[in-house]
Structure formats: structure tokens, C-alpha cells
Amino acid sequence: MGRFMGTETEYGITTPSDPTLSPLITSTHAVVAYAAMHTSARSRWDYTEEHPLKDSRGYDLQRYRTVPVVDPNAIGVANVVTTNGARYYVDHGHPEYSSPEVDNAWDAMLYDAAGDLYLRQSMEDIRQLWGEGISVLDSADPCPPIKFYKNNVDGKGQSYGSHENYQYSRHTDFASVVQGLIPFFVTRQVIIGAGRVGIGRASEHPGFQISQRADYFEQEISLETTLNRGIINTRDEPHADATQFRRLHVIIGDANMSQYSNFLKLGMTKLVLDAIEAGVDFSDLDIHDPVAELQRVSHDPTCTHKLLLASGKRCTAIDILREYRNRVQGLHGEGDVDKQVLALWGEVLDDLEIDPLRTSDRLDWTAKWALVRSFMDRGVAADDPKLKMLDIQYADIDPAKSLYHALVRKGSLRTLVSEEEIAHAAQHPPKNSRAYFRGKVTEKFGNEIAASSWQSIVFKIDDRMIRVPLDDVDGWTFEKTADIINSASQASELLNALGYKHV
């Protein structure tokens, strides 16, 4: 059973030679530099279908509406649609990569990893432009060399997001989704956590914890993503036919360097959502105080903490995840990806139960924990700044500097896909979703596109704006559109072939 999904990653950004520079400015430099040096034309983002304050519980907070027309080079909102159908842009002062829509967890993991390549290219572009004394922004000086980190905290009290998105039926009872997912989200961190040096929002206490984000959640349910964060986010913005679908917007997750952690994060969540939609009951796993237990689980790298359930029973996170796996495994059908998720899920739980460090060749948090332990075994104190530096260096996306990449080269961390496969995903859109059409027409007809979004492409033909809606996520695939795109030499021919006559 397929399910459309994708990821959004806000990267940490620094300018080592001048830490005082605003990340809003440097992030804009990064996106605009990439666009200027690697795309033939630019288009703005089409905000027509954006409704970030519409709530799944039935109301709409109208504090603001995003402006419908935005300069794609504007500071703080720079934007580019990439040839693989993704979006690379500035959000909340961070460079963000939103992956193209895919219908399985393997491809979602692959296209998430492709985002690192866009950021690395921006890093090289900025370095080159700095050497030449060139600024891509009219209102700013040249940007000095920058660094990017695939992490979620700055160590000073701020957290930035790594989000997942899953399409599901609007007819599914939202209360069942909430009930089924909260215990899963509280406990899945023992598999998908990225690891963090420091306890508390500002890392005010020494120590190591499993999740980067656990200390930043305050409620069980919330619409907010930057404050008063909820374990379940209620945003009702499907980016598809709103009469048929919702989009589960998951904000309670860490940015993963490990391909195993990322694949399991996406694959396990997909399977649990499958089970909820199939009517599987998880109510006996309700947790007495989910927010408190979220943090208790994160603060216990031994994975032996027993959570208090609403029933009065106590279980470890491993116990609860094993129960989830038992209940979903009969629903996966014959899909190879689902089978692989289930196999790895069981294997990792078995190893975590014996000794969490047995998973340090696959999972982010245990790989990082093993490094921290090795330093502490040599006499480094728990509050030594060296450990915080280790934490940051693990998430450096520059292979020459990253501890994650060093562990991969050494053979200490396993991978699932090759660098060549990731590079291919960075250049080519997935074939089985509307991302194929978005990526290919952006590449071929970019100078005739006025605006793009997840749900539309707006073509500019002479003085006319022609909006092509892409509401069907599975309706603009390679099979359905490749011949039309390949046979058209200009956008007007493409539109005529699509049924937009007299263009």
C-alpha cells in the first residue's frame, strides 16, 4: 500500500569568519546564489493554496495570510524550485529543503538525503563568489563562506524543524489519528533520535539525551510549529484535493544524518498510519502524561525508563514500539519497502533491548553516544565544551568536516544508498508523483513559468497567465506526462497538448 510523503528540513547555518551576520541574510545569499549559478530562470512561489493556520479540528486562525506575490530573491523569502521537483527556500531565517512527493519511505529517505547536496553546492557557490568579491543580493555585501548543519538546536535555547508529511484520507477520524500516534511519537525517538549533548532547552544541564527536539514540546496537540509545540500538529493544509485528503504534518522528529534512522522514521510512521486507517485500536497504549514522558524517554539513553500508561501499566519505549510493530505487521501487504521496514524495525528493537550501543552502526543517537562515551572514558567531563563541539561536528554536512561522514568512510556507520544514487535523486524528480511534472517543466520551460507551488504551475505565455492545477498528487507522473513534455519545444505547445486550447 503506497502513501505519498515527503520531508522538510531547516538547516543550521553559520558564518565562521563573522558570527554576527544575520542568518536571514546569509540564508538568502545561499538560496539566491544556488539559483543564480545553477538555474536558467526564476519563478516566484504561488501561495494561492497556502493555509498554514487552518486547523484539523475545524477552525481557521486568520492572524495572517501569506502575501500572494513575492520576489523570489527577497531577503527572508528567497525561493527556487529545483529540477528534482523539490523546493529550496528561506524559512524562519534558515535555508530549508522540502523534498518532492514520493509514495514510499525508501524514496522519501533518498530524496531527503538529496537536499544535503543542494546545500553543499550553495556552500561552494558562496565560497566562489566571496573570492570574486561578488554579492548576489543588490542590497548586501558579498557573503563570507558559510557552513550548514543538519541538526535541530543551536545550544542557546532555540530549535528549528525537521518535519515529515504524510497524505491520508479526510474521512479518517482525526481523534483516532491523535490517539494512535501520540504513544508512537513519544517512543519512536529511541530509533529515530539524532542524539544531543545537553539537557534542557538551552542545554543548561550537562548530559546526553536521545532526541534533539524533545525538550521543546509543551502540549499534546497544537497548531503552532515554533512555540507551544504539540506532539500532534493540527495544521490542515493538504496541498491536494481538500475534499478527499489531509496532510499529516509531523513536527516531532529530528533531522537525521543516518539513512537507517531516516528510513525507519518514515517507514514506521507510514505503517502506523496505515493501521490507524484500517481501524486498528491503539487506545490501550495511551500514556498518562505524554509530554513529560517524551522528555523522560529522551533523557534515558539506557532505554530502560518505564512510561506510565493511562491504564496504570508501565512499559519501556521498546515494549511499546514492539507492540506497535506487532499490530501493523499483518497489514503491510506485499510491498518490498514495507517488508524491509518491518525487518529493520524488529532487528533494531532487539539490539536496543540487549544494549543500545549495539545499534551504533545504524542509528544517529547511538553513534553519537558511542563517540561521547569514548571521550568521557578518556577523562573528558560531561560539561566539557569538546562534547558540544562533537555534537555539532557530527551534523556538519561537509563530508570533509563531518563526524558522521568520517564514521561512514571508516565503516563504522552503515548506509542504505550510495552517493551516486543520492546525486541522481538531486538531479531527477521521482517518476510516480506530480513532482515529475513540476521538476521537468521547471528544467525545460523555466523562463516561461511565472510561479510554482505544490499544487500548481503558472505559465506566462505572452501577456497571459495560465495556471495549471496539480491537485492530483498521482496525476502528473512520468507515465502520464513524459511524452507530452518531451515533444513540446515551448510552453504553449505543452499547454495545447494538455488541453489548454488557443494558447
Same domain, 344 and 463: no
Of 371, 396, 424, the position where a domain reaches its end is 424
Q: What is the CATH number of the domain that holds 19?
A: 3.30.590
Same domain, 36 and 183: yes
Range in 137-141, 148-152, 481-485 the model is least confident about: 137-141
The residues near 428 (Cβ < 8 Å, ≥ 6 apart) are: 83, 84, 439
Average pLDDT, the chain: 94
Tens-digit pLDDT profile for residues 14-54? 999 999 999 999 999 999 999 999 986 666 666 676 555 55
Same domain, 189 and 98: yes
Instruction: Tell me if 248 is assigned to some domain.
Output: yes
**Buried b / exposed e across 428-454, counting CB within 10 Å, b at 16+?**
bbbebbbbbbbbbbbbbbbebbbbbbb
Of 397, 424, 451, the position where a domain reaches its end is 424
Is the pLDDT reported for residue 61 higher than 60?
A: no
Same domain, 391 and 441: no
What span, in angstroms and rounded, lies between the C-alpha atoms of 476 and 217?
A: 38
Instruction: Tell me if 185 is assigned to some domain.
Output: yes
Tens-digit pLDDT profile for residues 322-332? 999 999 998 87
Look up the domain containing 453 and give its range.
434-497
Cell 530524496 maps to which residue? 111
The residues near 253 (Cβ < 8 Å, ≥ 6 apart) are: 162, 163, 164, 192, 213, 265
Same domain, 441 and 303: no
pTM, full prediction: 0.94
What span, in angstroms and rounded, lies between the C-alpha atoms of 446 and 109?
A: 27
Same domain, 105 and 235: yes
Neighbours of 289 (CB within 10 A): 14
* 156-184 average pLDDT score: 96
Is the pLDDT reported for residue 55 higher than 70?
A: no
Backbone angles phi, psi at 288, to 5 degrees: -60, -50
Instruction: Tell me if 481 is assigned to some domain.
Output: yes
471 in catalytic set: no
**Which cell numbers hold the place of 206?**
550537562
Instruction: Tell me if 134 is assigned to some domain.
Output: no
Catalytic: which of 46, 91, 274, 364?
91
Q: Which long-range contacts (CB under 8 A, 24 or more apart) does 132-135 make?
A: 135/29
Higher-confidence residue: 291 or 76?
291
* Domains in the chain, number: 2
Same domain, 278 and 159: yes
Same domain, 305 and 446: no
Same domain, 441 and 419: no
Instruction: Tell me if 133 is assigned to some domain.
Output: no
Cell 517524551 maps to which residue? 294
Same domain, 346 and 458: no
Q: Which amino acid is at 126?
A: I
Q: What is the pLDDT of residue 41?
A: 64
Q: Which amino acid is at 255?
A: A
Of 403, 424, 445, the position where a domain reaches its end is 424
Residue 501's pLDDT band (cuts 50, 70, 90): confident
Same domain, 371 and 446: no
The residues near 125 (Cβ < 8 Å, ≥ 6 apart) are: 30, 33, 34, 37, 38
Instruction: Kindly state the DSSP code that residue 204 receives in the 8-state scheme.
Output: -
Same domain, 464 and 416: no
Identify the three-state secondary structure at position 320.
helix
Confirm if 481 and 436 have CB atoms less than 8 A apart: yes
Instruction: Tell me if 291 is assigned to some domain.
Output: yes
